[in-house]
Amino acid sequence: MPEPRISRFELELLKKLWDLGSASVREVQESLPEKDRPAYTTVQTMFYRLEEKGVVRRLKKIGNAHVFEAVLTRHEVHHRLIGDLLGLFGGSAAPVMSHLVETGKLTLADVKELEKRIADLEKGS
């Protein structure tokens, strides 16, 4: 069964949750920028969806507030999202890398770091 996808908004909520450690829906909602802040019930619904996807879990309930923590780490979520992106290109990183170079988002320093990581991986094989 494929892993459930994580939307941009869900990722934004996860980032706040990672920063806070564990938090209630209200704490996460209030940590979002005031401009265009979603309603409490919207954030609550998204947390319930993330819980169904196995990305967060409820730790406890304090009064009416549920406290959540992330099940997946930033690295695991990034890995999943990058896998989804590469899947759109048939698994090939070439179009993504080409775009990063063309837009200046992949620097020579980045390339050198990648070369170093590849060399380290080859040594370990």
Does pLDDT of 51 surpass 70?
yes
In whole angstroms, what is the distance from residue 4 CA to residue 14 CA? 15
Question: Are residue 69 and residue 117 in the same domain, yes or no?
Answer: no
Question: Are residue 103 and residue 123 in the same domain, yes or no?
Answer: yes
Question: Are residue 80 and residue 121 in the same domain, yes or no?
Answer: no
> 16-20, 62-66, 81-85, 118-122 — which one is most confidently predicted on average?
16-20
Total domain count for the chain?
A: 2
pLDDT for the residue 4: 81
pTM: 0.80
Domain that holds residue 27: 1-91
Question: Are residue 41 and residue 62 in the same domain, yes or no?
Answer: yes
pLDDT digits (tens, 9 = 90+) for 67-117: 999 999 999 999 989 998 999 999 999 999 899 989 999 988 998 999 999
Q: What is the chain's mean pLDDT, rounded?
A: 92
**Helix (H), strand (E) at residue 22:** strand 22-24
Query: What does residue 116 show for φ and ψ, rounded to 5 degrees?
Result: -65, -45
